[in-house]
C-alpha cells in the first residue's frame, strides 16, 4: 500500500471510537461517527474505497448500500465512480414493488428489501456497509441481489470484526475492509 494510502488508513483508524457494553453488556461497539464529523477522515474513507474499486472492480455499475450506514459511504463512492447508488432498506421503508429477504441479526431477526426495478439482471454491483460482524446483514443483501439476478463483484466495509468470522458466511464473495479488529 502506498504511503499516502497508509496515512489515510491511519487517519480512519484514529477516528473510530470504542464503546464498551453497548448496545448490551459484553459488546464492544465500534463507532464511526467521528469519521463522519471530520471532513478529512470521511474523504480518506471515500478515497480508500475508490482506490480499491478502481484497481479491482473497474466494471462496477452500481454501488448498493445497506440500511442505514451503507447510505453514508455508498453515495459518495458512487458519485466519485460515476455509477448509480441503490438502497437496501429495512422492510416497509421503500415505496413501490419490492423484493425482500428475512435474516437473523446479532440481536434478533429482520427483513431487508430493495425496489424491484432498482437492479437489472446481470448488472455488476458492489455492496457497502460500515461494519461486518457476524455477516447476517451482508448475507441478506447478497441473497437480495441474487434474487435480482445481479452480478455481485464483492462487499466493502469500513470495519471488520475478524473474531466473529463474518467473511466465512459470505463466501465465495470477497470482502474488502479498511480496518480490522
Q: Would you please indicate which residues are annotated as catalytic (active-site) residues?
A: 69, 106
Q: Which residues contact 130 (CB under 8 A, 6 or more apart)?
A: 32, 69, 70, 72, 73, 157, 158, 159
Contact of 144 with 113, CB cutoff 8 Å? yes
Contact of 123 with 150, CB cutoff 8 Å? yes
Q: How far apart are CA 119 and CA 97, in angstroms?
A: 13
Contact of 67 with 131, CB cutoff 8 Å? no
Q: How far apart are CA 175 and CA 178, in angstroms?
A: 10
Q: Which residues contact 157 (CB under 8 A, 6 or more apart)?
A: 128, 129, 130, 131, 132, 138, 175, 176, 177, 178
Task: For residue 69, count other CB atoms closer than 10 A to its CB.
Answer: 18
Question: How close are the terminal C-alpha atoms of the chain, in Å?
Answer: 19
Amino acid at each position: 500500500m502506498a504511503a499516502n494510502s497508509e496515512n489515510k488508513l491511519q487517519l480512519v483508524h484514529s477516528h473510530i471510537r470504542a464503546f464498551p457494553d453497548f448496545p448490551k453488556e459484553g459488546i464492544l461497539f465500534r463507532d464511526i461517527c467521528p469519521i463522519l464529523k471530520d471532513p478529512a477522515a470521511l474523504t480518506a474513507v471515500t478515497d480508500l474505497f475508490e482506490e480499491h474499486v478502481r484497481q479491482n472492480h473497474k466494471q462496477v455499475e452500481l454501488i448498493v448500500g445497506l440500511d442505514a450506514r451503507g447510505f453514508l459511504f455508498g453515495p459518495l463512492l458512487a458519485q466519485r465512480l460515476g455509477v448509480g447508488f441503490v438502497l437496501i432498506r429495512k422492510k416497509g421503508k421503500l415505496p413501490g414493488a419490492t423484493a425482500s429477504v428475512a435474516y437473523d441479526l446479532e440481536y434478533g431477526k429482520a427483513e431487508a428489501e430493495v425496489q424491484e426495478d432498482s437492479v437489472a439482471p446481470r448488472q455488476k454491483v458492489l455492496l457497502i456497509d460500515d461494519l461486518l460482524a457476524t455477516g447476517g446483514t451482508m448475507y441478506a443483501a447478497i441473497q437480495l441481489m441474487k434474487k435480482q439476478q445481479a452480478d455481485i463483484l464483492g462487499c466493502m466495509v469500513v470495519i471488520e470484526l475478524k473474531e466473529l468470522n463474518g467473511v466465512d458466511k459470505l463466501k465465495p464473495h470477497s470482502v474488502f475492509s479498511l480496518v480490522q479488529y
